[in-house]
Structures are given as C-alpha cells and as structure tokens.
Amino acid sequence: MNAPMSIQDRGTPRALRERLVVIGNGMAGCRAVEEILARDPDRYAITIFGAEPRVNYNRIMLSPVLAGEKAFDDIVINAAEWYTDNAITLISGDPVAQIDRGTQTVIGKSGRVEPYDKLLIATGSDPFIIPVPGKDLAGVVTFRDLDDVDKMLAAAEAGKAHGGGTAVVIGGGLLGLEAAHGLSLRGMQVTVIHLMPTLMERQLDEAAGWLLKAELERRGQVILTGADTAEIVGKDGHVSAVKLKDGREIAADIVVMAVGIRPATGLAKAAGIEVERGIMVDDHMVTSDPAILAVGECVQHRGTCYGLVAPLWDMCRALADAATWSGATDAPTGYAGSVTSTKLKVSGIDLFSGGDFSGGDGAEDIVMRDAARGIYKRVVVKDNRVVGAVLYGDTADGNWYFDLLKKGDDISDIREALIFGQAFASGGAPLDPNAAVAALANDAEICGCNGVSKGRVVQSILDGACSLDAVRATCKASASCGSCTGLVESLLAITLGDEFAGERAIKTVCKCTSFGHDDVRRLIVEKGLKAIPQVMQELHWSTPDGCASCRPALNYYLLCAWPGEYEDDQKSRFVNERMHANIQKDGTYSVVPRMWGGLTNPRELRAIADVVDKFNAPMVKVTGGQRLDIFGIKKEDLPAVWADLNAAGMVSGHAYGKSLRTVKTCVGSEWCRFGTQDSTGLGVKLEHLTWGSWMPHKFKIAVSGCPRNCAEATIKDFGVICVDSGYELMVGGNGGIKLRGTDLLCKVATEAEAMRICAAFIQLYREQAHYLERTAPWIERVGLDHVKAGLFDDPEAIERLAARFRYSQSFMQDDPWAKRAAGEDSELHQHLAEVRPLMPSAITVETVS
C-alpha cells in the first residue's frame, strides 16, 4: 500500500515549489493541507505520510461506525481523488521512523527518504494504556482507529454464538462511553469501569454525571464508578476477565482501554525538538525549529494540549495563514487558544458541556431541573458573562450558550430568562420568568400528578384561592409531588399581581430548595429516590451539588429511608462523623471508647491508660455521659489508637455522631439500698440495642433505678425511671441550651416492654424529625399527643416501628473504628506528602503511603 499515487501538476511546476512534508494523514494534518491549498494552491509540493493503510477519515465518527449508524465510506473526508486532484503524494502504510533535521529529510520505516523545506508534524495522540498485568493479552484493544473498531466488531460477532458475549470498557470518559454504547448496540453485555465517582468528570458535574449513569444503566449497561482495575485476567493468551482492586471479577471477551490519550511526541523528541507534554508550538504553530510546524493533538500551545476536534480547526487556520503569508499583508495574528465544548455521541442522550463550570468568586450558578422530562441545565455566569454551561436532556441551547461564552457578551439584560434558552431570552418578550408561564396556553398542563391545566389553576385563584396552600386545597395543583410548585407560584403572581405575598409558609431545608424537610422526606420514600444527586434532580434543587446544610440532611434521610441499600456518602458528613472522633479547637481529635452502660473493667482502663501514654494525650476526662474522653489525638494517629482500643475489646463510643451517644445508669438494685430494679443491667441492654444507629441529631438515654433519679434520666431523649411496679418511660428531655424536662410517655411492667418501646420511639423520631432536630424541639413542634398517637393508636404500630429499627440496626452495628484500624479510608488520616525544605535551595517532597 505504500506506492505513491499519481501526480498531476498544474500551476507552478512541482519541482520549483517548496517541499512540504506532512507526517500524519489524520484530521489535523489533512485539514492543515486543505487550509493551505485554499489560500495558495501553488505554493507547496506536498507529501503526506500516513501510518494507517487508508485514506483520511473522520476519526471522531468512529463511534457511529462502531454503533452501526455509519459505514466507513460515510466518514471518509478525503478520498483518493483529493490527493490526485491536488497533486499530493500520499505515502500510506509507511510510518515515519526518523526526522533528520541536519539534512532536512524524513526517513520512512521502509527506508524511503523524503527531503523537505517545511515539515508539518501532525502525529496526533496515542491511547494511554494503564500499566496493569495482562494489558498485552489478545483481546485488549484501544479505541483510536478503524482497526480497533474492526476488532470490537469481530468480538461482537463471535459473541453472537453464545448470547452476545461480554465486553469491559475501562474508562468512563467521552470515548469509553461511546465505545460502550456501540458494543451494547452490537449485542454485547457491557460493563464500564471508571476510576472516578462521576462519569465524564472532566466535562460533567455530579448532577449531570448521575443522570447519565442512570440512563446508561436503564439501557442495560453496568456502570461501576470508583472502580480501580487491578489486573486483566487471561486464558490461553486471550483476555477472559477484568479483576478490580476490591476483588470483584468481571468476565470479558474483549477489553477496551479508553482511559485517555497522550500526545504522540516520540518523533519530535528524538529529533531534538522542544517537547514538554506535547510538542511546543508558538501562535503560528511553529516548533523550536523554524522549518518544522506541528498541529493537532500532538502539540502543546500556551501550556494546553487539546483532545477535541474544534481546536484543531482553529490551529489549522492559524498555521495556514502563517505558512502562506507573503509579507504583502498584515502579519497573521495567530492562534490564541480555544475554549472547548463537548457533546456525547450516544444516540438518544443529549448532553452538552462547555467552558468552565467550576464557578469562582462572583460566579453564580443558574440551575433549572425538570424531573419529569429528565432535564438538567446549569449555566455559570460571572461578571454578567456566561463562563460555562452543562446541559443534560435538552441541549438545544448549547450552541447559543457557547456562543455567548466565546463572544463574552454582556447578558445582564437577559439574565432572568437566560436559563429558559434562546427562543425565550431573545424573543423580545418581557424578560421575566413569569412571562414564560403567562405565555402558556390555557389548556397547558401545570400539574402532571393531578392532571390540572393552567386554566383550572387560574380559575381556582380567581375563585379566591390566594395562596399556594389554598390552590393545593382546591384544585390539587402541586399537592402531590410538588415539582410544579414554581409554576403555580408564577400563576399566583400573574393572576393576583401585587396581592400575592409570594411567601411560602414552610421553612425550606436550605436555600438550595423550595421544599421543606417533611416534603423531602416524604418524596424520598414516595418516589423511591436513592441517591443524593437523584433527590436534587427530582426535587429541582437550585444548586448543582447542594451545600453544607442540605447534603448531610439528605444523606441522613436516604440512610434512614433505605437501610442496607443506600450507600453512606462520606463527603456529605460533618468532619466528626467522617473521622469518627470529635474535632477540637486546635484541629486535634478526642476519642471516647464505648463503655456499655458506663461500666468498665481493669483491662479497658489499662488499654486507655496505655493509649494516653503511647500517644502523649495531654488530657483524659470523665464525661457527663459516664465515659472517658482522651484528648489531643492527631488525625494520623487515630487508626492506631483505635487498633489498641479494639484489642482490649472496646468499640467506637459515637461521641461524635448524630447518633446514640451514651446510656447513663445508676447502680440500681444490685448495690443501691434504694434501687427498685436492675437499672445498670437494663442500661447495658438498651445500649446494646441502640448503639451505632444514625439519628436526626444526637440521642442520649439514661436509666435510673429509683425516683431519686441519680442517672438524671429526666433530661435525656429517652429516660427510664425504675419504680417498684415497673418502668416509667420518659421522652424529650434536654439539658442543653434550653432546659427541658421529659414528658411521661407511658409506664410498662417489664424490661422487654421497655426495650420494645424504646426501639419504637427511636424509630418514630428517626423517621419523622427534621435533620438536626433533637427530640425536645421535635416534641414541642409536633406535640406529645402526636407522638403518643403514632405509637399507641394502632396496636400494631409499636411492633412495626421496632421491627424497622431492628432491621436498620442489623446494618449499623458494625464498629467503624475496626474498619479504619484495618486500613479503610486511610487517605482521610494520612497527609498527602510532606514538604521539607532541607537546604535553602533544595526542597524535597516526601510521599506518604
């Protein structure tokens, strides 16, 4: 295939022209040639070296070829005629082996020598291969050229014999997901392994990444995020499975490695041209050698390497301007870098990302979500200019936002309507979001749940429903899932004008949402919402990833609603719960081991004393909850401290959590001459029942053996006062900022009954209270009668609640200290590295781990 094509000269005889040699028959190399020909067709005698044995094709369209939506012929950019028509010599299938700058020649692998006056390097990039065992097995492919596509198609074909076959794609970026989509359409069972927690994390935020993952899973792909490949397993020299670092093994007939690309700089580097990550070029795409140009994915321009196609076009224009400049006109301005945008080429998934959506000072997010239609739009505005956009589900306005972004247009006039898109924002309509609602037809549906049209809502308002609650009560609009609340409020504002106060009675969870705690909790259960980004999408959160108020609340609500199913989101927890210790003002931690019912023994006391000595803890203190608190422990020492305490049989005391803290007891009938029951024994049993449970807020229990109440049970969340005839169960006490004595809940005869009611009461509190609401304000808010009704009206209620609590506890009573001591989440405790300036001029960075 390396025979040169025939040459037809025209214009300046070829022999008299400058010789331009192009290394790379890809998109950048050929586009650069096209741009040069368009400006000055007679200037150069052009020779193109291509490593692949075929004509130039559109590499970014390989995904549709894999998916069967296009054939190879459809994606050819320049067929053989283009080369002949333009007198270009194409040397395909003979990769360049060396550049000799001294003699200004290029030497092919076949030994062919081609002299140049100007050389253009357009070698593109190479797929990055992760260095794991098995990477060289047959069946491990990349996704870069047509040969790769052929291998994938062959695997899919072979798989048809046994039910489709299995494919693993390593890398959940743009390319990996397109490969996965294609293989899936070809009938393979596809698993995507992605190291980061969010798909396409370079282009998408958490919210859009979640929507994408949910859609791909719905289509039958298995998406494993946060998954690290350990090894590619082979059988008879061919891949058979992929093994993850957590031990999981996924069967694979083919493995596609799509974790990223690296600029192909080998030839340039060997020739002594300046190379960093890419081949260094100036604004005219000239390398450190003035006779050598470079363009495309192989270059580094102003510190940036690009992996998308749009910047290549800009580069090629700048290159051609400079390479054909005669000196008669103004000097070309050159290439100034590109702002990039991305679209995913997966049919049926609309996704757009452009610019910078990391925010910044003064940057503001405008977020619009439409759960019913699966839409998430986020536009980032700074200094009245669009600086970034992420769109999922509806990308019609992607190019418009991107255009505003690139031009840097002042959007202050259209700001209010910006998120609704171009049609609305530049439609000349009054620029007010209410106007969009006003423009809706009378029969347009406002509330999907209850089938209420705009006309009916307006009629209800005209009939006297002047508030949101009144509308909900009359025509039922927004009375179910509440996602149309904003629309109903707009209709109230439009219909009533100034008479509409616009204020909702409910207190929202935080500024990110218009929903209150009760609605959020109810909707999580009703709609079966099981992840934080899903809640934010379905309930129309107005921020991309929430705030320090709503994230911990949602994490708790999900944990409470879906025990055993919901995976705790560590990054949504306050520091104490993440570190399983209490942060102190100097940044060190205090550690409280559990002492059941306040009892301890010599072994535990020795272990605590040893820890104090070994880690130089400056203080040990007896707490109000009858425990020992060890102060001044550094975060990096915590796992070692816990290991020592575990060794003596002690587990986490949860003194740091919105959870059961302690069960305080008095000595009771076993020792005390006044004791009526075994209060210590009951306290120990209650602590074994309740420890480890996450709650809306901290939760304290005490058991006193007689009404003298030495354990101070009447200022606890749940208190037991033992009397001769049984046990008085008290709830809602608090000894904190606002002192509140407990209310008597009921009196029972046996320990077993006391424990059952304790479990039921805790579960009622867990399911109904707002996050960060202690039992005292909760009972003040809902009333003791409400609590009593919830427990006692239905004779089955106690058992149902207690059963739900026990089920939840079956997943919770797992000592978190033991896991950390065994090495889990070690990065939370270790420094990243340490900087040690040894000498004035030398600095070493010591890596930890």
Residues from 433 through 452 that contact another protein (CB under 8 A): none
Determine if 827 is a binding residue for another protein (CB under 8 A): yes
Q: Which residue's CB is nearer to another protein, number 109 or number 262? A: 262
Scanning 440-448, 515-523, 577-585, 690-698 for contacts with another protein by CB under 8 A, the matching segment is: 577-585
Q: Which residue's CB is nearer to another protein, number 260 or number 334? A: 260
Determine if 5 is a binding residue for another protein (CB under 8 A): no
Determine if 360 is a binding residue for another protein (CB under 8 A): yes
Q: Which residue's CB is nearer to another protein, number 359 or number 486? A: 359
Residues 526 and 522: their CA atoms lie apart, in Å, by 6
Determine if 130 is a binding residue for another protein (CB under 8 A): no
Determine if 771 is a binding residue for another protein (CB under 8 A): no
Residues from 586 through 605 that contact another protein (CB under 8 A): 586-587
Residue pair 20/45 in contact (Cβ under 8 Å)? The answer is: yes
Nearest CA-CA partner of 650 in 696, 594, 597, 692: 594
Among 552, 653, 657, 675, binds another protein (CB under 8 A): 552
Determine if 826 is a binding residue for another protein (CB under 8 A): no
The CA distances from residue 630 to 76, 486, 660, in Å, are 71, 51, 19
Percent composition of the chain: helix, strand, coil (DSSP 3-state, to 5): 35, 25, 40
Quote the tokens at residue 227: 């998954």
| Partners of 831 in beta bridges | none
**Smallest distance from the beta carbon of 502 to another protein, in angstroms?**
24
Rounded to 5 degrees, what are φ and ψ at 220? 100, 0
Determine if 579 is a binding residue for another protein (CB under 8 A): yes
| Partners of 593 in beta bridges | 652
Residues 146 and 671: their CA atoms lie apart, in Å, by 84
Among 160, 202, 245, 738, binds another protein (CB under 8 A): 202
Q: Which residue's CB is nearer to another protein, number 571 or number 603? A: 571
Scanning 455-463, 546-554, 607-615, 715-723 for contacts with another protein by CB under 8 A, the matching segment is: 546-554
Q: Which residue's CB is nearer to another protein, number 147 or number 834? A: 834
Determine if 544 is a binding residue for another protein (CB under 8 A): yes
Residues 800 and 7: their CA atoms lie apart, in Å, by 87
**Smallest distance from the beta carbon of 634 to another protein, in angstroms?**
11
Q: Which residue's CB is nearer to another protein, number 161 or number 835? A: 835
Residues from 178 through 197 that contact another protein (CB under 8 A): 195-197
Residues from 87 through 116 that contact another protein (CB under 8 A): none
Q: Which residue's CB is nearer to another protein, number 82 or number 515? A: 515
**Smallest distance from the beta carbon of 750 to another protein, in angstroms?**
44
Quote the tokens at residue 678: 């075994």
Residues 338 and 406: their CA atoms lie apart, in Å, by 9
3-state secondary structure of 368: strand
Residues 359 and 346: their CA atoms lie apart, in Å, by 28
Determine if 132 is a binding residue for another protein (CB under 8 A): no
Determine if 269 is a binding residue for another protein (CB under 8 A): no
Scanning 264-272, 440-448, 582-590, 806-814 for contacts with another protein by CB under 8 A, the matching segment is: 582-590
Q: Which residue's CB is nearer to another protein, number 207 or number 349? A: 207
Residues 282 and 746: their CA atoms lie apart, in Å, by 82
Determine if 359 is a binding residue for another protein (CB under 8 A): yes
Among 161, 441, 505, 548, binds another protein (CB under 8 A): 548
| Partners of 47 in beta bridges | 21, 89
Among 470, 547, 640, 782, binds another protein (CB under 8 A): 547
Nearest CA-CA partner of 663 in 681, 649, 676: 681
Rounded to 5 degrees, what are φ and ψ at 633? -90, 130
Residues 590 and 575: their CA atoms lie apart, in Å, by 13
Among 369, 551, 697, 820, binds another protein (CB under 8 A): 551
Among 205, 489, 519, 637, binds another protein (CB under 8 A): 205
Nearest CA-CA partner of 847 in 836, 833, 835, 829: 833
Residues 348 and 360: their CA atoms lie apart, in Å, by 33
The site string for another protein over 145-184 (x = CB under 8 A, - otherwise) reads ----------------------------------------
Q: Which residue's CB is nearer to another protein, number 288 or number 543? A: 543
Nearest CA-CA partner of 625 in 715, 702, 681: 702
Dihedral (C-alpha) 179, 185, 191, 195: value to the nearest 10 degrees? Answer: 30
The CA distances from residue 22 to 42, 45, 96, 146, 183, in Å, are 16, 11, 10, 21, 34
Q: Supply the DSSP symbol for 508.
A: B
Q: Is the dihedral of CA 88, 91, 93, 99 positive or negative?
A: negative
The site string for another protein over 603-642 (x = CB under 8 A, - otherwise) reads --------------------------------x-------
Q: Which residue's CB is nearer to another protein, number 610 or number 825? A: 825
**Smallest distance from the beta carbon of 203 to another protein, in angstroms?**
9
Determine if 843 is a binding residue for another protein (CB under 8 A): yes
**Smallest distance from the beta carbon of 225 to another protein, in angstroms?**
11
**Smallest distance from the beta carbon of 569 to another protein, in angstroms?**
8
Determine if 329 is a binding residue for another protein (CB under 8 A): no
Scanning 165-173, 352-360, 417-425, 808-816 for contacts with another protein by CB under 8 A, the matching segment is: 352-360
Nearest CA-CA partner of 419 in 439, 441, 389: 389
Determine if 575 is a binding residue for another protein (CB under 8 A): yes
DSSP one-letter string for 169-234: EE--SHHHHHHHHHHHHTT-EEEEEESSSSTTTTT--HHHHHHHHHHHHHTT-EEEET--EEEEEE
Q: Which residue's CB is nearer to another protein, number 297 or number 365? A: 365
Determine if 837 is a binding residue for another protein (CB under 8 A): yes
Alpha helices (H) along 465-599: 468-474, 485-496, 517-526, 532-538, 550-561, 575-579
Q: Which residue's CB is nearer to another protein, number 205 or number 253? A: 205
Footprint of another protein (CB under 8 A)? 195-198, 201-202, 205-206, 260, 262, 277, 357-361, 363, 365, 543-548, 551-552, 571-576, 578-579, 583, 585-587, 635, 827-828, 830-837, 839-841, 843, 845, 847
